[in-house]
Every structure is written in structure tokens, then in C-alpha cells.
Amino acid sequence: MIQGSNILGYERPLVIRISFATCIVVTVCLPLLGLITCVSISSLFHFEDATGTHCQVPNYLPSISASISLSPECHIWRFCIGLHSAPRLLVAFTYFRFYKSRFAARSSESALSCLNLTFSIFENLGLLLLTYVSSNETYFVHKEGFVLFIVSSLIYMLITCRLWRSIKKYSLSPEDAKSHHWKVRFLLLNVCFCAFAGFFYWKHNMYCESGSYTFFALFEYLVVFSNMAFHLTAVWDFKSREVVVISSFEDKDF
């Protein structure tokens, strides 16, 4: 919604209102569409490069790291992640303010709110690091970015579920209960998918079995999808809020 008018020669500020839920959906959909696009292009046009490993055994799905390290896939992925980073930080700080106001009189939850914000920022930094330093450029830095992203996201989700357990305990809202319920489900799914991805990655490197890397790639996708689904639950938490952008006009004398 855009508001603004001219009254008696004076320009009123231009006000743009955007549903916060819409902002969240767009923020989540950017990396989702970027990932689907990159994996699809890699599978169709760069299949051998995207699925080849040091084991030189048949694989049928490209890993995310392989997909986003090729061209033009890397440019698409970097564009989507770069565009979504600022709104993602906005969501992180909105949650922080929400928790601070909700747990103003409770020191333990207030401290967890600070940790929650910290790991949310680390998660975003890890994602930016693994995005802008591809595995083909500096593998060690890319790997550390991936580890930072996974570890930070798991801790962030765990703390978030703990905070929402407290919220649900003292709230009569069915939306709060539903949000906590699905957050816990997506956290458990994410942990399971991470475990399976790690197992098949180890199995591929240890035994070089055909198909192990394919299962690793599959569960890697599911790790990312469950992470996105977890972040999407913010739609229930802030469905009544809006992002307001105000642009003021300078007075000009003619």
C-alpha cells in the first residue's frame, strides 16, 4: 500500500506499507527458487561436472556446493542470497525485539533471546561465506562457511523452540501453539536429515560406493528445505505486522 498526497503545495511523506508475512515469504522463496534453478541447470547442462567426485563412481544428483560453484549457477545463487540477506536480518532483529518485550521480566529467556539473535546472525554469515566463496575457489573457506551455517542454524532452531515453549505455556493463542508445534517438527526433521547427509558423505569418502554421494545430495537438499520451512513459520508469528517505509520530501523554495 502506497500513501502520499500534495496539500496546499506541501508534499506529505510517501508511506509504503508491506505485510511482514509477505516480506517473510519473499525472503524464504528467494533462496528456494535460486536453489531449484541452480540444481536444475547443473543437472541438465553440467551433469558430469556437478556429479563428479574424486571417487569417480556414478552419481545421479549434484550436491549444492557443486551446483553453486559452476557458471551461470553461481551468479544466480549469489544474486538470490545477496538479495535475501538484508530482509533476513530484519526478521532476526524483529524476533529479538519481540522476545525482549515478551520476556522482559525473565532473565533466562532474555539471555536466550540474545543468543538466539547471535546465532541467527552467524547462520546468515555462514550462508554468505559459503555462497561467495565457492568450493572451486577456496575449498577450506567454503567448507568452514558451510559448517558455520549448519551448526549455527541448528543451535538457532533449538533456542527458538525453547523460547516458544515458554510462549506457548503462558499463551492462550492457538497460533502460538501451532507455531511451536511446527517449529519442533521442522527442527527434528532438520536434525535427522543432517545425520543422514553426514552418514552418506562419510560413506562416500570412506568406501567410494556408487550412489552414496547421490543420497548425500538428496539429504542435503532436505536439510535446506527443512531449514527454510522452519524460518517460514515466522508468518504465523508476525502475520498482523507491517513493514513501513517512509520517504520525506525536502521543502523547496522557488
**1 domain residue, yes or no:** no
Q: How many CA atoms lie within 13 A of 53 on its CB side?
A: 24
Note the pLDDT of residue 53. Answer: 87
Note the pLDDT of residue 252. Answer: 47
Counting the structural domains of the chain, the total is 1
Residues 6 or more apart from 94 whose CB is under 8 A from it?
A: 20, 238, 241
Note the pLDDT of residue 253. Answer: 47
Per-residue pLDDT of the chain (254 residues), as tens digits, is 555 555 555 566 777 777 888 899 999 999 999 999 999 999 999 999 889 888 889 899 999 999 999 999 999 999 999 999 999 999 999 999 999 998 987 888 999 999 999 999 999 999 999 999 987 778 889 899 999 999 999 999 999 999 999 999 888 788 899 999 999 999 999 999 999 999 999 999 999 988 899 999 999 999 999 999 999 999 999 887 766 666 665 554 44
Predicted confidence (pLDDT) per residue in 179-194, tens digit? 999 999 999 999 999 9
**52 domain residue, yes or no:** yes
**251 domain residue, yes or no:** no
Residues 6 or more apart from 76 whose CB is under 8 A from it?
A: 34, 37, 38, 41
Is the distance from CB of 233 to CB of 182 less than 8 angstroms? yes
Q: Could you list the residue range(s) of the whole structural domain that residue 165 is in? A: 14-240
Comparing C-alpha atoms, which of 155, 162, 190, 182 is closest to residue 237?
A: 182
Note the pLDDT of residue 245. Answer: 65
Q: Which helix (H) or strand (E) segment is 17 a member of?
A: strand 14-19
**252 domain residue, yes or no:** no
Note the pLDDT of residue 54. Answer: 85
**7 domain residue, yes or no:** no
Comparing C-alpha atoms, which of 230, 247, 246, 245 is closest to residue 95?
A: 230
**253 domain residue, yes or no:** no
The string over 174-198, giving b where at least 16 C-beta atoms fall within 10 Å of a residue's C-beta and e elsewhere, is eebeebbebbbebbebbeebbebbe
- Could you say which DSSP state residue 241 is in? -
**249 domain residue, yes or no:** no
Predicted confidence (pLDDT) per residue in 154-186, tens digit? 999 999 999 999 999 888 788 899 999 999 999
- Cα separation, 106 vs 100, in Å, equals 9
Residue 12: CB atoms within 10 Å: 12
**116 domain residue, yes or no:** yes
Q: Which amino acid is at 207?
A: Y
- Could you say which DSSP state residue 14 is in? E
- Cα separation, 223 vs 65, in Å, equals 13
Query: pTM of the full predicted structure?
Result: 0.89
